[in-house]
Amino acid sequence: MSIENKKTLEVYNKKAKTYLKTSIEHDSLNPKKAKQKREQLEKFIRTNLEILPKGAKIFEIGSADGTNAKYIEKLGYEITASDVAEDFINSIKSKGLKVIKFNILENEFNQKYSAIFCWRVFVHFTKNDALKVLKKVYDILEKDGLFIFNAVNRETRDVDEEWVDFPNEYRMGAERYYKYFREQELNEIITNIGYKIHAFHKEGGENNNKWLVYVLQK
């Protein structure tokens, strides 16, 4: 576990409640846009998970408020949500979801899963962290299992990494570590581990290329 990720998790442990509050405030600035983004994400989740049988076991890394986990549950899958911050865990519990306190870089899985979902979490991983996570997920996926995640595209940024707190979007009053990945860089790591790229696209930002979105298959 890198010092960058460790310090970032300390911020979330202290300020998760602030994150939950500002996330709501951010969406309320443009409800129509927020609704469209939500519908787009749900369509993406639904489309890519539909190859799995109903009841398949899915694990989410970094569930935050539990919204994505709740949607996955509604689709008919057995979802285990997870996070490290108590305020996030309490928010997830309030939705009636199964949730555990889990740090992907330090804790070990105790079973295999048909899919792992990890949304807007890779932004806080160094390259070595990301490599460790990709390897660990590969090992616990069932045959033909899926790993769904996204990362910020380095091509849309001026630096490889930085410490930042947003003034208006998801502000928390403390800087967090952000890592930006180039597509080729991630693709090399992915293929070297043994994954197949089941689906890939870019989305978000002014040119619709802010996020690198992957659906990997074991």
Beta bridge pairs of residue 161? 179
Rounded Cα distance between 120 and 124, Å, is 8
Total domains in the chain come to 1
- Other CB atoms within a 10 A radius of the CB of residue 113 amount to 22
Residue 183's domain comprises 3-217
Q: Work out the end-to-end distance of the chain between its first and last CA atoms, rounded to an integer number of angstroms.
A: 24
Phi and psi (nearest 5°) for 150? -135, 160
Report the pLDDT value the prediction gives residue 169, as an integer from 0 to 100. Answer: 67
pTM of the predicted model as reported, rounded to 2 decimal places: 0.96
* pLDDT tens digits for range 1-46: 899 999 999 999 999 999 999 888 888 889 999 999 999 999 999 9
CATH of the domain at 40: 3.40.50.150
* pLDDT tens digits for range 53-92: 999 999 999 999 999 999 999 999 999 999 999 999 999 9
Residue with tokens 């295999």: 112
* pLDDT tens digits for range 173-218: 999 999 999 999 999 999 999 999 999 999 999 899 999 999 999 9
- In this structure, what token pair is assigned to residue 200? 């890939």
* pLDDT tens digits for range 96-109: 999 999 999 999 99
